[in-house]
Amino acid sequence: MSTLLKSILEKHQLRANGILHIGAHEGEECEVYNEIGFDSVMWIEADPDVFKNLEAKINRFSHHSAHCVLASEQDNLAVEFFVANNNGHSSSLLPLNDQLTDRLVPGLQMAGSKILKTRRLDTYFAENGINISNYNVLNVDVQGAELMVLKGMFLLLQNFQLICAEIHLTRNYQNAVLLHELDGFMAESGFARVSTSAAGAEGEAYYLRLSPRQLKLKKYAMITEALFLESLFHTGIMAFFARQKNRFPIIRRLYHLILTRK
Q: Looking at residue 48, what is its pLDDT?
A: 97
75 phi, psi to nearest 5 deg: -95, 140
Tell me what pLDDT residue 241 has.
55
List, for residues 210-223, the tens digit of each pLDDT value: 998 889 888 888 89
Q: What is the mean pLDDT of the chain?
A: 88
Task: Show the domain range for 152.
Answer: 2-259
User: Which spans in the chain are helix H?
Assistant: 2-11, 30-36, 48-58, 98-104, 121-127, 146-151, 179-188, 212-234, 237-244, 249-259
Tally of domains in the chain: 1
Binned at pLDDT 50, 70 and 90, residue 247 comes out as low
Q: Picking from 68-77, 97-106, 157-166, 197-206, which range would have the lowest pLDDT averaged per residue?
A: 97-106
Long-range own/partner contacts, residues 43-48 (CB < 8 A, 24 or more apart)? 43/67, 44/20, 44/69, 44/71, 44/121, 45/69, 46/70, 46/71, 46/81, 46/91, 46/93, 46/116, 47/81, 47/83, 47/88, 47/91, 47/114, 47/116, 48/116
Q: Do the Cβ atoms of 81 and 114 come closer than 8 Å? A: yes
pTM for this entry? 0.89
pLDDT tens-digit readout, 137-177: 999 999 999 999 999 999 999 999 999 999 998 898 999 99
**What CATH number should be reported for the domain holding residue 151?**
3.40.50.150
Shortest CA distance to 193 belongs to which of 211, 205, 210? 205
